[in-house]
Chains A and B, each alone.
Chain A
């Protein structure tokens, strides 16, 4: 029996989760929400994490009904992400690991998403679409690595959606992407937007500049409503994502697809993926906002796998790094 606690703070969510042999015992989270029109800056985000880390940690222990001595390993997000928030979160992890006399594990954030997705859905060897504010990757496992078959060549899909939400001055509560999704449900007039797919890679920056520039006029003239623009944006960027995922599935001969990451809880994206998967006779695996959005349990789960395969990270190596690619990690726990 192995109990792992995970600390996540690579972006604007601070999460602590406890996992015991594949069962999530607790997974509280606190999100730093900025005013409409504003993104989250590293300094303020780090301060948010420092202010809330201890209460979230206490909540995680209380909800799991376990005491620190039952914990076997303390896991934290090494990267990728924003430097200052990562370090603030790691500091709490390092301190409690020493106080409680527990070993540590440094976890790659993206691997956390993948392992959590596999645990929650039971998908065995899926093509993974990982979509969030900072990442857009199509991943498949082979020979002890999660290999990146496709990714964005400029900005992440979540970043594209967030930045458009700022143009419309949408609320960041609970998240800009969620509010775009709600508006898009009411849109129906489709505006053709630049659609850029290169093999299994995508590009969103041209599309974003286009819509950022056109939106004010289109809205002013009354040709399109904000709902129509959210609808068109979602339909276009999601179609690009489904296309590269399908290409990767065809390329790898895979019959399973898993969506992870914050954008992955978008119902329209899931619906489009489901349609594609059905037509191919494949199966879609998706999770809800508890596990799609950054959380502590996913770090605990990846750390649990790593710990069971014999790894630990010495204290002096528990650094953080803003850049840490998914395919750098040796996947010691899968065959």
Chain B
């Protein structure tokens, strides 16, 4: 197996699985944390990740197909998303090649797709837990907006609006801190989200607002 990438908590190897291009996501142990905590977090995250990927696919959201799981070595064997770029790289390339106004215009359909997809995901009570533009891929020509969600290690199932609100808050912060001047795109994401998560979005948006205020209103002593 060839090591392809190393993220914060997993090594990604490339291989093939009975002839299909496959990547292996190996969660490695973190020597900075206590062994009991480390074991429990690693096992929990492998399980969360495969469960959420399966649930997403069942509701029509594109995620890599899981081929095989080895709990002993904390490895998930999954489909390699060929010909894909991260949303992060795509936004950066659009922002660097166009004027600010043009960039927002170009990226609006993508924001729509992101909002729509997250709406479906939350409607199924799947909370991603780590929504960033690095954890979203675009397959094929990026302008086709074929969006694939990845990195579900922090995900869980929950019907609470609070958790869904925090999920969106995490995305908002990641989007704006990574890509300055994208506040408008987040609004587009929210609009599309409300359309596809038709039943619960009102409460989620109210919670999002509450979590935002918590951040801003907190007195920060020391």
Q: What is the 8 Å Cβ interface bit string for chain B, positions 190-217, against chain A (1 contact, 0 not)? A: 0000000000000000000001001111
Interface residue? A275 (CB, 8 A)? yes
Q: Does B82 contact A (CB under 8 A)?
A: no
Which residue of the partner chain, among B7, B37, B177, contacts A190 with CB atoms under 8 Å? B37
Partner among B7, B8, B177, B221 whose Cβ is within 8 Å of the Cβ of A148: B177
A132 close to B (CB within 8 Å): yes
Q: Of B28-36, B102-110, B114-122, which stretch is located at the interface?
A: B28-36
Cβ of B173 < 8 Å from any Cβ of A?
yes
Collect the chain A residues with CB atoms within 8 Å of residue B174's CB: 149, 199-200, 251
Chain B: minimal CB distance from A119 (Å)? 20
CB distance from B208 to the nearest CB of A (A): 12
Nearest CB of B to A36, in Å: 19
Q: Encode contact with B along A192-218: 1 for CB under 8 Å, 0 otherwise.
A: 100101111100000000000000000
Bound together, the chains give a CA A143 to CA B178 distance in angstroms of 11
How many angstroms between the C-alpha atoms of A252 and B88 in the bound complex? 11
Q: Give the one of B40, B167, B215, B221 with max A CB within 10 A.
A: B221
- Interface residue A318 (Cβ < 8 Å from any Cβ of B): no
A153 close to B215 (CB less than 8 A): yes
Chain B residue nearest in CB terms to A275: B32
A240: nearest residue on chain B (CB-CB)? B33
Chain A positions within 8 Å of B60 at CB level: none
Instruction: Compute how far the CA of A132 lies from the CA of B221 in the bound complex, rounded to whole angstroms.
Output: 8
Closest Cβ–Cβ distance, residue B91 to chain A (whole Å): 13
Interface residues of B in 11-66 (CB under 8 A from A): 30-34, 36-37, 40-41
Among B37, B132, B215, contact of A239 (Cβ-Cβ < 8 Å): B37
A81–B131 contact, CB under 8 A? no
Cα separation A235 to B171 with both chains bound (whole Å): 27
Is the pair A190, B219 in contact by a Cβ cutoff of 8 Å?
Answer: no
* A198/B170 in contact, CB under 8 A: yes
Contact A133 B173 (CB under 8 A): no
The docked-state distance in angstroms from the alpha carbon of A151 to that of B40 is: 24
Q: Which one of A63-71, A242-250, A299-307 is at the B interface?
A: A242-250
Is B85 in the interface zone, CB < 8 Å from A?
Answer: no
User: B142 near A: Cβ within 8 Å?
Assistant: no
The CA-CA distance from A113 to B169 in the complex, in Å, is 26
Residues of B near A294 (CB, < 8 A) are: 222
> In the complex, which residues of chain A have a beta carbon less than 8 angstroms from the beta carbon of B216?
323, 325
Interface string of A138-169 (1 = CB under 8 A from B): 00101101011111011010100000000000
**B154 beta carbon closer than 8 Å to chain A:** yes
Q: Mark B127-156, 1 if CB is under 8 A from A, else 0.
A: 001111010000000000000000000100
Report chain A residues within 8 Å CB of B78. none
Question: With A140-B177, A199-B174 known to touch, is A239 a contact of B33 (CB < 8 Å)?
Answer: yes
Complexed CA–CA distance, A242 and B176 (Å): 22
Instruction: Return 24 A-B CB contacts under 8 Å, by A number.
Output: A10-B222, A80-B219, A80-B220, A109-B220, A134-B220, A134-B222, A135-B220, A145-B180, A147-B177, A153-B211, A198-B167, A199-B130, A200-B132, A200-B173, A239-B30, A239-B33, A239-B34, A242-B33, A246-B9, A250-B8, A275-B31, A322-B220, A323-B216, A327-B177
> Which residues of B are interface residues toward A (Cβ below 8 A)?
7-9, 30-34, 36-37, 40-41, 129-132, 134, 154, 166-167, 169-171, 173-174, 176-178, 180, 211, 214-222
Give 9 closest A-B pairs by Cβ, nearest first.
Answer: A133-B222, A134-B221, A80-B220, A199-B170, A11-B222, A134-B222, A250-B8, A275-B32, A239-B33
Question: Interface on A for B, CB 8 Å cutoff?
Answer: 10-12, 80-82, 109-110, 132-135, 140, 142-143, 145, 147-151, 153-154, 156, 158, 190, 192, 195, 197-201, 235-236, 239, 242-243, 246-247, 249-252, 261-262, 272-273, 275-276, 279, 294, 322-325, 327
